[in-house]
Chains A and B, each alone.
Chain A
Amino acid sequence: MSVPSTETRHIPDRLGTPLRSAVFSWPSLLLAVGIVLFVVNSFASPYFLSPWALSDATFNFTEKALIALAMALLIISGEIDLSVASIIALASTMMGLALQYGAGTPELVLIGIATGIVCGAFNGFLVTGLGLPSIVVTIGTMSFFRGISYIVLGDQAFKGYPAGFAYFGQGYVFWVFSFEFALFVLFALFYYVLLHRTNFGRQVFAIGNNDVAARFSGIRVERVKFILFLLTGLMSGIAAVLLTSRLDSTRPSIAAGWELEAVTMVVLGGVSILGGAGTIQGVVLAALIMGLVTFGLGLLNVPGIVMSIFIGLLLIFVIALPIVFRKVRNRRR
């Protein structure tokens, strides 16, 4: 999806030192942006710097960020899943259906997560089993999964989830640390280890950089990709449990538009949309930045739709700026 570049490549005289490359890396840039946003926000609103306010702020990105973690791996491997928000809708609908048959909290959680995994497996089968392009397949399943929710619910809503179920989306583990946030931290660690510290993670990078070469070096490309789709489905299922619990209701329009927000998070986090490069640290920072932006603007009474302008500008400029700098530098040589 890119235009072949005609730029000449410069081979540096010296290799960068580890310190230098760490300072100028994408996550450091994001960290700087994050700190600036944090400082600006604390000056802009007197309510910003309170632990409870900051804790509230985490709620509007943790569910999306959970999906973004798995999506990052998927995008690094060169695939994409646009159906994640629809998986949330379907999983939430299935939980609502189970509720009508008297399911308790453990069954609800199980059904939500299982639906996510089944949907992920369906995507994974279409992409890896039949060898179809994931962007089109998941645009299809995106309508399909949410479509089932609409068939089941129409213009109705499921309500009245059991009291114990509310803990997942509304409960606190310790002081201001919500269950959602704790779960996010745990999964961020899990995905960090999976991507950057395991054989599996190296295989994901190898596939994203050159899947033919990866295949010839003995990596079971289809299996790895299938697992990544399963993981993305799983995370969407988990997000569905959290979101349903937080909203205490299910409508077919639940989580509408989240697929693009999750992708924005991943790309903002420095993952190459063309695959092969990216870090979990970057994605986590991007999630925090998006949380800071939306929460800070929210405190200033900026409507949600205007916030989305900032997110969009952030996405384009954070990606465009390094390219512009590089161009200017190359021209000077």
Chain B
Amino acid sequence: MSAIVKVREFWLAVLIAALVFAANLRAPGFASPSRLSGIVEDSSILMILALGQMVVILTRSIDLSMASNLALSGMIVALINQAAPGIPVPMLMAVAAFSGLLLGALNGVFIWGLGIPAIVVTLGSLTIYRGVIFLIAGGQWVNADAFSPSFVAFTRIEVLGLPLLVWYAVAIILAFVVLMSRTALGRSFYAVGVNPTAAVYAGIDVGRTTFLAFCISGLLSGFCGYLWVSRYVIGSVEVARGYELTVVAACVIGGISISGGVGTVAGAVLGALFLGVINGALPVINISPFWQMAISGAAIILAVVLNGRGAKRSQRLILRTAEAAA
């Protein structure tokens, strides 16, 4: 028990539960199963994306192109569905995931092959991918009536009381639990982040591992492209604009260290859920939705301040004594 209490994910979970409880006091019925499953549904895409971003951040990189990748892959399947409604939806999901994988791999090639910092590459591809959406769609939107019924249904069908969208997230979370704790690749993400030099001596190809991290984040972004378009029933250039930083925010709140090597699947998922609960609770307790942005901003700042407290002491020890001596 005492071991669990020391884990920050535990406290984040407690905080989320407290938020739900507090919101329920103000607006009875907030904690009802249907409302809660709605919040989980709203957070599902963010959870999946946060897991992808987590892998990248673990390797000391950052992927700012996730939202653009999502929007581009989503637009591709939206256009395919519009042109050929007969194509089965699982195939479109595969197309979206594959397009995302390619876009992510493209980032990875520049980062691995040329050694350009990830933040620069993905800053570039962030704008390029979004521009390409405009080109392939000819500046048009894909409106709700253009989608085939099954395209829209494949995130909504309820299985065991929860929509499929949630089950996709659950499946991906489980896959990540296995990947991060039970496979050599998963462990090498941590190794590369904690100490790249030591990772090389342990026989890990740092460049290749980073490349694979970007492939994973791309794959998940692409898959979420389908999910997003299907859930919100719109394909446009504006889809998920600015969402890349929300994803990073979820990771930060989940305790994933931006300097690499530290972070858990549970953290990423809870970070996303935390933002989801806040967004879900505000309208219910009669706070204008315009408060959302400031509150999630404050949450990020608070999370970093709390995360930083433990890390700072050991990091600055030498310098403190040096300053004292001077």
- B275-301 interface with A by 8 A CB criterion: 288, 290-301
Closest to B298 in A: A144
Any B CB within 8 A of the CB of A139: yes
Closest to B132 in A: A309
Contact status B126-A260, CB under 8 Å: yes
- A256-274 interface with B by 8 A CB criterion: 256-257, 260, 263-264, 267, 273-274
- B228-263 interface with A by 8 A CB criterion: 237, 242, 245, 248-249, 252, 258-259
Docked pose: A212 CA to B323 CA in angstroms? 12
Any B CB within 8 A of the CB of A320: yes
Which of B132, B301, B304, B308 has the most chain A CB atoms closer than 10 A to its own CB? Answer: B301
Contact status B308-A131, CB under 8 Å: yes
Any A CB within 8 A of the CB of B186: no
- Residue of B135, B200, B288 near A4 (CB, 8 A) is B200
Any A CB within 8 A of the CB of B147: no
Docked pose: A274 CA to B61 CA in angstroms? 12
Contact status B301-A126, CB under 8 Å: yes
29 pairs of residues in contact across A and B, judged by CB atoms under 8 Å = A1-B118, A1-B119, A4-B196, A132-B305, A133-B308, A139-B249, A139-B300, A140-B303, A143-B293, A147-B292, A147-B293, A147-B296, A151-B290, A218-B326, A264-B123, A273-B117, A274-B117, A306-B131, A306-B134, A308-B127, A308-B131, A309-B135, A312-B131, A316-B116, A316-B120, A316-B124, A320-B114, A324-B114, A327-B114
Which of A260, A263, A316 has the most chain B CB atoms closer than 10 A to its own CB? Answer: A316
Note all chain B residues with C-beta closer than 8 A to A263: 123
Chain A residues in contact with chain B, CB under 8 A?
1-5, 82, 126, 130-133, 135-137, 139-148, 150-151, 153-155, 212, 215-216, 218, 252, 256-257, 260, 263-264, 267, 273-274, 303, 305-309, 311-313, 315-316, 319-320, 323-324, 327
CB distance from B110 to the nearest CB of A (A): 7
Closest to B319 in A: A215
Contact status A143-B300, CB under 8 Å: yes
**Besides the known contacts A147-B296, A309-B127, 11 further A-B residue pairs in the complex with CB atoms under 8 A apart:** A2-B117, A3-B210, A132-B304, A133-B308, A139-B252, A140-B249, A146-B293, A155-B290, A256-B242, A312-B124, A316-B120
Closest to A323 in B: B114
Number of interface residues of B (CB under 8 A): 65
Note all chain A residues with C-beta closer than 8 A to B316: 131
Note all chain A residues with C-beta closer than 8 A to B258: 133, 135-136
Contact status A315-B300, CB under 8 Å: no
Docked pose: A3 CA to B62 CA in angstroms? 12
Looking at chain B's contact residues, the main secondary structure is: helix
Contact status B196-A142, CB under 8 Å: no
Contact status A260-B127, CB under 8 Å: yes
Any A CB within 8 A of the CB of B128: yes
Q: Nearest 8 A-B pairs (CB), nearest first?
A: A147-B294, A143-B297, A144-B297, A140-B300, A309-B131, A147-B293, A312-B128, A312-B127
Looking at chain A's contact residues, the main secondary structure is: helix
Contact status B308-A319, CB under 8 Å: no
Closest to A133 in B: B258
Note all chain A residues with C-beta closer than 8 A to B252: 136, 139-140
CB distance from B81 to the nearest CB of A (A): 23
Any A CB within 8 A of the CB of B28: no
Chain B residues in contact with chain A, CB under 8 A?
60-62, 64, 110-112, 114-121, 123-128, 130-132, 134-135, 139, 196-197, 200, 206-207, 210, 237, 242, 245, 248-249, 252, 258-259, 288, 290-301, 303-305, 308, 312, 315-316, 319, 322-323, 326
Docked pose: A147 CA to B312 CA in angstroms? 29
Docked pose: A137 CA to B258 CA in angstroms? 11
Closest to B253 in A: A140
Closest to B121 in A: A316
Given contacts A126-B301, A312-B125, contact A305 B60 (CB under 8 A): no
Docked pose: A323 CA to B114 CA in angstroms? 7
Closest to B259 in A: A133
CB distance from B149 to the nearest CB of A (A): 31
Closest to B128 in A: A312
Contact status A141-B297, CB under 8 Å: yes
Contact status A144-B259, CB under 8 Å: no
Contact status A216-B124, CB under 8 Å: no
Contact status A147-B126, CB under 8 Å: no
Note all chain B residues with C-beta closer than 8 A to A133: 258-259, 304, 308
Note all chain A residues with C-beta closer than 8 A to B300: 136, 139-140, 143-144
Note all chain B residues with C-beta closer than 8 A to A3: 111-112, 115, 196, 206-207, 210
Docked pose: A60 CA to B116 CA in angstroms? 28
Note all chain B residues with C-beta closer than 8 A to A126: 301, 304-305
Contact status B297-A315, CB under 8 Å: no
Note all chain A residues with C-beta closer than 8 A to B125: 312, 316
Docked pose: A4 CA to B115 CA in angstroms? 8
Docked pose: A260 CA to B170 CA in angstroms? 33
Note all chain A residues with C-beta closer than 8 A to B303: 140
Given contacts A133-B259, A312-B128, contact A142 B245 (CB under 8 A): yes
Docked pose: A307 CA to B292 CA in angstroms? 31
Note all chain A residues with C-beta closer than 8 A to B112: 3
Docked pose: A133 CA to B262 CA in angstroms? 14
Note all chain A residues with C-beta closer than 8 A to B326: 218
CB distance from B61 to the nearest CB of A (A): 6
- Residue of A136, A148, A216, A320 near B110 (CB, 8 A) is A320
Contact status B297-A145, CB under 8 Å: yes
Given contacts A4-B197, A131-B316, contact A140 B290 (CB under 8 A): no
Note all chain B residues with C-beta closer than 8 A to A5: 115
Closest to B116 in A: A319
Docked pose: A264 CA to B124 CA in angstroms? 8
CB distance from A27 to the nearest CB of B (A): 18
Which of A5, A126, A136, A327 has the most chain B CB atoms closer than 10 A to its own CB? Answer: A136
